[in-house]
Every structure is written in C-alpha cells, then in structure tokens.
Chain A
Amino acid sequence: MSALLDVEELQVTFGRTAAVRGASFRVERGETHCLVGESGCGKSVTALAVMSLLARGGQRSAKRMRFAGTDLTSLSDREMARLRGNRMAMIFQEPMTSLNPAFTIGSQMAEVMTRHKGGSRAAALDRAAELMGRVGITAPGMRLGQFPHQLSGGLRQRVMIAMALMCDPELLIADEPTTALDVTVQAQILRLLANLKRELGLSILLITHDLGIVARVADHVSVMYAGEVVERAPTAELFRAPQHPYTRGLLSCVPVPGRVQRDRPLGSIPGVVPAIGPGFAGCAFRSRCAHADETCARAIPRRQAGDAHDYLCRLEPDWAELQPA
C-alpha cells in the first residue's frame, strides 16, 4: 500500500533564502512520523508547505507531494481549502493564538463541521461535545459555551485536537503541540494523541525539537538540518545506531537522569547553523562537523544504513564504530 503522505524533494524558498532544500519523507497510514530538528531547520515550513499555508512570498516546488493518492501540487486553492481541516488537519504550538478569542469554543468547533460537511449547527455541536469527551474534557456542555481565555493551556490544546478531529481526518499534523505546556500536561496530551492514533487509525506528522518526545511517540523519524532531511530511520534504530554526525551530536546534548554523568560536561555541537545562500553546495553541517574534509563541499551521497534507514553523509555506515565520537 502506498504511503498516506509522500513528499519527495520539497523545496521552499522565501526570496533568496532557501528554507527547505530537497526534503523527502513518507508518512505511512496509522503511524506517527516525527520531523525533528532545531529552530530554523525548516521543519515547520515543511508542514506549512504540505498544508499550502506558506506565508506570502513563500515559493514551493516538489518532485512529488501526494496525499492519499492526490497530487497536492496540482490542487487549486479552493480544492486545497476543501482538504484542509477536513481530511488533513493541523494543530499548532500556541493554542491561544490559533483560537479566535471573540467566539465561543462551541461555535468555532461547529464551524469546521458545517463548512466541510454541511448539516445543522445542532448536529455539529453534538459532534463537538462528543469529541470533547473523547479528548478527556470533562463537562463538555459547559466548555462549549466558554471563550478560549477561560480555559487553561492544556484544555485549549485538547480543544484544538478535538477541533482537528471534527471531520475525521486521515492525517493530523501537529507542530510542537506540547512545547508551551508543563511537563505533566505534556505527558497527558501525548498520551491522548497516541490513543487517538491507535483507536481511530489516525496518521500523525509530529514536529518537535524534543528528542524525548520523538523516542516515546514516533514510529519513524526524519532528522532535519538546514532545510534538509539528513537522516531517516525507524525510531528504535535511530536511537540505537544514529549515523549522521549531526544526529549523534544532538543525542549527546540531551541530559538523561541516571545515564549522563553529573559534573561532567554534556556533549555539545560547536558553532551555529550556517547561512545557506543561493548556490550553496555540499553538506550544510560541515562547518560544525569534527569529521569534515574537503569532499564535504561537493555533492553528498545518501547512504543506506538499513531497510528504512538512510542518511546524508560522506561517511560509510560503520564509521561510528571505527571512531568513537
């Protein structure tokens, strides 16, 4: 069976700035796929490009961008609007800015339904109440009549998730959905997403900078750096045998209670992400990489390290064993 979302060689530019430079990844049906990377790596822009929600001035092109067999690059704005919020839905980091403060929760949720599927407002409100119960909101009847500012951050994010589910989407894109929340609430929201995926057969494209979240919820991972997917792997394999020097560096930066020695420095990646201008060639990580040589300024091969595991680097798959980082 073909993947639900299949993106090949996605390019996004804003004027002379290349935000995404040939990103390729596939989200299979019923799986959680994580796009992980640091700020500015292009992970959010990638998601927005898939949803056709790029800010003015953003240019997107792709060799292939298919959602459930439909070619997204060929859709008109109107056809895309029919998909968006319907068969593919998106939730954002800050639920307060994505909810309209002037309308009640109920009217915002009902609008999604009446707009895409028609039907009465009453039926839409019933559906909203049912989904609010589904995402663990107690007393949904009362919440429907409330305004966004009357809810806590965790509740708002639950409302966003319920709203995204109104039309039974096949794909949910979640852009840093728990970054603004406390750790305790974060765990609850991530559990909720995992349950929804299992029970509704939902596919999730989760964008995050947090490797802890990736490890706990993802089936597959794409690591992004400077607009490129530098490594793709099944989650367990990525953490067991990371290949790209950037992935390895990133993993060594995370303090893990009980595993990373206290009073010892954490691993860190020296330097900063380089500015990528037009005509940039070679590996974007080379200026920060301990293993870079002159060949890194030329085209970099994508190497296979396993069945579904590949990475973008001049080094052979077994370099990690040869040279302890």
Chain B
Amino acid sequence: MTAAIEVENLRCEFRVHTGLMSAEKRVVAVDDVTFSVPAGSVLGIVGESGCGKSTLARLILGLLKPTAGTVLVDGKRLFDLDRKARARLIQPVFQDPFASLNPRRRIKDIVALPLAAQGTFSRGEIERRVGGILERVGLSAAMGERMPAQLSGGQRQRAAIARALVLEPRIVICDEPTSALDVSVQAQILNLLADLRRDLGLTYLFISHNLAVVEHVASEVAVMYLGRFVERNETDALFRKPRHPYTQALLESVLTPEPGKGVPDIGLGDAMPDPSNIPPGCRFNPRCRIAVERCRHEAPKPVVRAPRGMVECHLA
C-alpha cells in the first residue's frame, strides 16, 4: 500500500527584512521533517503558533516551494503535476471560512469553481455534482443560491468542505478547520469530517492547536516545535504516555471541563520560541524543565520507539 503523503527531509526557509538597516534574517519554518501518512488515516499535527504547522500544510499542498526535500502525494512528486491534476488529488480546508470564500459569488458557484476550472465537465455534470456534494455536507439547495455573508460560520465551513470535496480528492489538508467556530458548531463539523472520511475513504492531515480535538479525530499525532517534529506516535499511545517534555507540557495545558482541578502549572517559562533565532543544542532546552548540560550544545537525534513512534529528546 502506498502512503497517501510521503515527506522526506523537507525544509523551508524564509528570508525576512526586519528593518531598513538591519541585516536579512533567515527564518527556518520547517527544518528537516520526514514522515508518511498511510492512506485512509488521519495525521494530527499540533504545536504553538509559529511552530511551522501551517507552512508544512502549504508545502504539502504545493502552494510553497520547499528549500530542500521532497513531497510525494499518492506516490507522485507534487511539482511534476500540473495544477489541475494536483487539485484532483489534494484539497485544503482553512480556518476562516469567511476569508476563504469569495464574498461576491453564490455558494453553488463557489463550490462549482474547481469543476469548472478542470474544463472537462459539462454544465449538467457540474450541476449534478454540486447538488450532490452540497447535500452530502448538509446544505440545502436553497443555501446554494445564497451569498457567503448570508450563511452562519458553520454553514460557511460546510461550503468550504463541499468545495474541497467536489473533485473527489483522496487527501484533504485541514488547517485549523474548527478554530473559528463555536463549540456546538465545531462538534457538527468534526462529526461531518469523520463521516466523510469513513464514507469516501479520505486521508486527512489535520492541523490544530486544540489537542482535545486532535485526540478525537486523529489516528496518529505529531508534535511540532520550531519547525521539527519532536514526537510522533499513535494517538492513544501519545496521550497515554507522552515522552517528550514539550508534549507533556502541551497535554497538561489542555483545560478539560473538570471542575475543582484548577489551572495546571505547566512550567514552560516565558521564553517564547523564535523561529529566526533557534537555540543551539536541543531547540526546546530554554523552556525545558528537565534540560541537562548536554541539551544545551548537542541536538538530539530522532529515536524510533514502538512500531510507528518517534521522539527527539536525549532524556526520553
């Protein structure tokens, strides 16, 4: 079985100018990341803002060119494919359904656009497919006639999902798909995404800062810190026995609705990670509770644990 997504030694750098006179800075957003996602599974990616998770999504979608490394989607090199073929294979769903839908078009035209752009579908075929997918995501035909501003946040996200699925791609990249939504609507969208995956055999890359959500949807979870995967494991194993101190801190900071437990002291300090200034040695060492001398000058190598697990820490 080929993997749906295969990423090898992927690296992405940006050059930024911070001021008129200051020297150019190099920001390494994704730093030598290797992983694969088996077809039909869900890889969740978690991490704080600025850790490179959205950059990774853009690299896999082919919206950004990597500085080094390769991305294989469904066994094909992404950059060998033309845009139309890429669109049939992999599609995104983004965080803010308002920003990602054209405010001047009707919902059914927005959803039809990927089909029309292929140039191979008849008008009748487009209409049939759009009607089918709108119904599948729970939007009525009347909704299709409306403009995005006339829809609620949850309905807009349903429309964005319909647009992503109308070409019947195999892989969907969900970048914080429920972060802008209320909890009751979030639950509806998560349930919809789960149904669609099961019925259509989709593979998801699911990016979120909400660990409880990732735990609910993902079969495997990768924890990203300053551009690298510091731990990866099957979801149950990762939540039951987190090995990396950063994963442990992230899990502790999840506020489950359990009264009386108080707010946890996660002891990460307030040295926020800066991707333009990655510390030597282990990149997590300035915030690490258990760092020893070795962590300050020697970067840890990834250690394989269990069949699919990986952790990057001297002490784990």
Contacts and interface: CB of A to CB of B under 8 A. Distances in A.
A214 B257 contact: yes
Contacts of A217: 262-263
Contact of A184 (B154, B183, B210, B268): B268
B188 A268 contact: yes
Nearest to A151: B272
B292 to A, nearest CB: 22
Contact of B263 (A39, A187, A263, A269): A187
Contacts of A218: 259
B286 to A, nearest CB: 13
Interface in A252-268: 252-260, 262-263, 265-268
A215 B259 contact: yes
A183 B270 contact: no
B213 interface: yes
Interface in A229-261: 235-236, 238-240, 249-260
Interface of B: 48-49, 152-155, 182-188, 190-191, 194-195, 209-213, 215-217, 235, 239, 249-266, 268, 270, 272
Interface stretch (A65-73, A110-118, A188-196, A290-298): A188-196
Contact of A190 (B195, B250, B254, B263): B263
Contacts of A270: 188
A311 B184 CA distance: 20
B175 to A, nearest CB: 16
In this complex, the member of B184, B194, B195, B264 whose beta carbon has the largest number of chain A beta carbons within 10 angstroms is B184
Contact of B260 (A38, A182, A187, A236): A236
A216 B254 contact: no
A: contact size bracket: 35 or more
A216 B255 CA distance: 7
In this complex, the member of B153, B188, B253, B255 whose beta carbon has the largest number of chain A beta carbons within 10 angstroms is B255
A210 B253 CA distance: 14
Given A184-B266, A187-B264, A216-B262, A257 B253 contact: no
A191 B266 CA distance: 10
10 contacts: A154-B270, A184-B48, A184-B266, A191-B264, A209-B182, A212-B255, A253-B184, A254-B183, A255-B187, A268-B191
Given A182-B209, A216-B259, A258-B239, A155 B270 contact: yes
Contacts of A184: 48, 249-250, 253, 266, 268
A138 interface: yes
A293 B185 CA distance: 24
A140 interface: no
Interface in A13-66: 38-39
A211 interface: yes
Interface string A265-299: 11111101000000000000000000000000000
A317 interface: no
A204 B268 CA distance: 25
Given A257-B239, A262-B235, A213 B270 contact: no
Nearest to B271: A138
B259 A255 contact: no
A186 interface: yes
Contacts of B184: 38, 249-250, 253, 268-269
Given A182-B48, A184-B48, A255 B213 contact: yes
A255 B263 contact: no
Nearest to B182: A38
Contact of B152 (A154, A214, A272): A272
Contact of A187 (B209, B217, B266): B266
A211 B183 contact: yes
A155 B211 CA distance: 23
A186 B195 CA distance: 32
A257 B263 contact: no
A253 B183 contact: yes
A262 B216 contact: yes
A102 to B, nearest CB: 18
